[in-house]
Structure 1
Amino acid sequence: MTAPLDAPESAQHAEPEAIARGRRDTESRSLTQIAWRRLRQDRVALGGGAFVALLILVAVFAPLLTAWFGHPPNQFHQDLIDPATQGVLKDPDDPWSGIDPTGGMSAEHLLGLEPVNGRDLFSRIVYGARISLLVAFLSTLLCVVIGTVLGIVAGYLGGWVDTVISRAMDIFLAFPLLLFAIALAGVIPDDAFGLSDNALRIAVLVFIIGFFSWPYIGRIVRGQTLSLREREFVEAARSMGAGTGYILFREILPNLVAPILVYATLLIPTNILFEAALSFLGVGVNPPTPTWGGMLSESLAYYTVAPHFVIIPGLAIFVTVLAFNLFGDGLRDAFDPRSSD
């Protein structure tokens, strides 16, 4: 009769020990370690992150890739184009062979050729990734810096400083950004601030996107700062005589890294789409420099004879934005304190 009573008693002793051991294991890991463990379990987010890393490598090594697998992005191959339909010939040696439905895809031209000029699509897609990622990363960095500084100052100081910054956020959020970008980009001079041509246009695009998008992250940082400024570690630093700058950037800011990183990851695909939209409207980077949005704009007149010319740059934008969004969602779930470990 004693054995059945002993088993539940041992289980009752074992269960609290297991709970305590699990609690100690969780407490011994930092937030970054916990987030990384959660992220490794999310296969979809890891897939998105792997594609993003691959895309960055492709953009960095674009000249090497085009030398191996393609041609210079602005090299014409008009001998492969049908002069009547402007499509890619099935057989360049036979002008009556008709239009190639694959757009000239082969071992020499992996993604085919553009109509009219016959430029290599693989090379232009690879170089277009450089422009999209450069504008997106730089504008996101500018947005994060401005939004973080103003958001943390507004949330911590409060009072009239918070009122002024918050009203500025409302004004910027109500600003017609797309119309302003079209108007400003359309009147850019040839030379200004020591820059010229596309370097100047890229700098202006980065300024427009980053400077007018900071309120989105500024609101998030302000809200987090409002709760963090009442925490014990801030009160302890204040009681020890720490200055405002030290508290803001040495005590509060490290606790904002996770939400800032997550939101920045989700903001990058938005900026990629914005740059593509401006290039599509003809106010982005000047041709012949390849951009995904510019390629889409050029392809609309030839979708009947070269459907691949529409599909490939559109698919590049779609897959890139999707990968960033999946990776950003995974980061958000990994850093969420309410998520189960």
Structure 2
Amino acid sequence: MTAPIETTGSQTDAQPEAVLVGVKSQQIEGRSLGQIAWTRFKRDKVAVGGGIVVVLLVLAAALSRPLQALLGLDPNQFHQDLIDPNTTLPKGDFGGMSWDHPLGVEPKFGRDILARILEGSWVSLVVAFGATLLSNAIGTILGVVAGYYGGRVDTVISRMMDTFLAFPLLLFAIAISATLQGGAFGLEGLPLHILVLIFVIGFFNWPYMGRIVRGQALALREREFVDAARGMGARGPYILFKELLPNLVAPIIVYSTLLIPTNIIFEASLSFLGVGIQPPQASWGGMLDQAKDFFEVDPQYMVVPGLAIFVTVLAFNLLGDGLRDALDPRSR
């Protein structure tokens, strides 16, 4: 037999503290759920790219007036000298593109396309964000109440959702917008049109958020932390706003990023039909409406606002998909 190897005084007898001598001690820090979600989100390069585009679009919309002043552009200034009087089309190639007008000018009137794109960006985003906030507020409150209380409360709210979803939203929006074109509630002009669009789009879209929140609340109300809150004597309002709603932030954020582009398209559709934002105020849908008569001879005037809507909607959708995967990796 081989004699046992003596290990006295060797490293095998050393204490853990002795083995770690000379190694810089570092405190292990835990990560919050937000930090974990941010780490997952950063790994999705497509979603990060969409988020960057969204940030740039929001900045461009917020700074549209300063950018126009910096570039010396006016969305409502006519440049008749750049229009051919015989064809009413822009002079030169590519829709009259030049250093002074990087995206060219529109047919017939000669207004700068870049200036009108910047001017229309803040209108579209204000309407989309405002309508999303309104629909989220109504849908979240009614959805969490229906999901938590159940019974007759759930039945009444669910039937309300079904009723609103049965409305022909586009026709109803056209009727309301056309009725309130002149003035109402002490408002007129652009502020009235924006508020009407926010109300119509947001008020009739809340059931979509309500259904999502209701489904999540039905699952959360059976969880242990809700039972613990009940056992400690917490009442319904406290459980709704302190226990359930904080756990519904993730799906609300994700669905909001997917609802904003839908609202942008809806606003553009109403403006395209002539019952949304009224000229001379620039809007992407209004530009498409004016460009339809010149599409065959000057397609650039329709391509530019159409591309602006496409890029904006795509960026928000990519951001929403990335947030969904980051906040709920089991959904992948």
Match of 2:45, as an amino acid? R
Hey, what does 2:80 align to over in structure 1?
78
2:59 to 49, 57, 60: 57
Aligned to 2:224: 232
Q: Could you tell which deviates more after superposition, 28-37 or 200-209? A: 28-37
CA distance in 2, matches of 1:36, 1:126: 31
Q: Deviations over 1:244-291 (max 9, x none)?
A: 111100111000000000000000000000000000000001100000
Q: C-alpha deviations, 1:30-52, integer Å up to 9, x for none?
A: 22111111110001001111011
1:158 matches 2:150: yes
What one-letter code is carried by the residue in structure 2 that aligns with 1:285?
A: I
How does 1:76-225 map onto structure 2 within 5 Å?
Answer: 76-90=78-92, 100=93, 102-225=94-217
Q: Distance in 1 between matches of 2:181 and 2:119?
A: 24
User: Is residue 318 of structure 2 the alignment partner of residue 297 of structure 1?
Assistant: no
Q: Is the 8 A contact 1:295 1:313 kept in 2?
A: yes
Unaligned stretches of 5+ residues in structure 1: 3-24, 91-99
The amino acid of 2:78's aligned partner reads F
Once the 2 structures are TM-superposed, how far is the Cα of residue 306 of structure 1 from its aligned partner? 1.8
Task: Give 1:29 deviation, angstroms.
Answer: 2.5
Number of residue equivalences: 306
What displacement does 1:339 show? 6.1
The answer as to whether partners of 1:147 and 1:214 remain within 8 angstroms in 2 is yes
Q: Per the alignment, in what secondary structure is the counterpart of residue 286 of structure 1?
A: coil
Quote the Cα distance in structure 1 between the aligned partners of 2:228 and 2:301: 62
Q: Cα distance, 1:201 vs. partner?
A: 1.3
SS at match of 1:242: coil
Are the aligned partners of 1:151 and 1:219 in contact in 2 as well (CA < 8 Å)? Answer: yes
Cα pair 1:103 1:306 within 8 Å, conserved = yes
Partners in 2 of 1:214 and 1:174 — Cα distance? 13
- Counterpart CA distance in 1 for 2:115 and 2:205 is 31
Aligned to 1:263: 255
The answer as to whether partners of 2:181 and 2:193 remain within 8 angstroms in 1 is: no
1:285 aligns to 2:277 (yes or no): yes
% same residue: 64
Q: CA deviation at 1:239?
A: 1.2
Q: Residue in 1 aligned with 2:12?
A: none
Q: Which string of whole-angstrom CA distances, capped at 9 and with x for unpartnered residues, describes residues 268-327 of structure 1?
A: 000000000000000001100000000001001112332210110000001110000010
Query: Secondary structure of the equivalent of 2:106?
Result: coil
CA contact (8 A) 1:80 1:88 kept: yes
Contact conserved, 1:140 with 1:271, CA < 8 A, in 2? yes
SS at match of 2:247: helix
> CA RMSD of the aligned region, Å?
1.5
One of 69, 76, 84 as aligned partner of 2:71: 69
Per-residue CA deviations over 1:199-234 (Å, capped at 9, x if unaligned) read 111111101110100111101100100111111111
Kindly indicate whether residue 315 of structure 2 is the aligned counterpart of residue 323 of structure 1: yes
Deviations 1:44-86 (A, max 9, x none): 0011110110001001111111122241100000011001111
Q: 1:31 aligns with which of 24, 27, 33?
A: 33
Instruction: Tell me how far 1:107 sits from its aligned partner.
Output: 1.4
Whole-Å separation in 2 of the counterparts to 1:159 and 1:84: 71
1:171 Cα deviation from its structure 2 partner = 0.9
What is the alpha-carbon distance in structure 2 between the residues aligned to residue 337 and residue 303 of structure 1?
45
Return the TM-score normalized by structure 1. Answer: 0.87
1:242 CA displacement: 1.2
In the alignment, what sits opposite 1:308? Answer: 300
Match of 1:40 in 2: 42
User: Which is greater in Rg?
Assistant: 2
**Alignment partners' CA distance in 2, 1:259 and 1:290:** 34
What is the CA–CA distance in structure 1 between the aligned matches of 2:72 and 2:45, rounded to whole Å?
32
Cα distance in 1 for residues equivalent to 2:34 and 2:187: 41
* SS in structure 2 at match of 1:338: helix
Aligned to 1:94: none
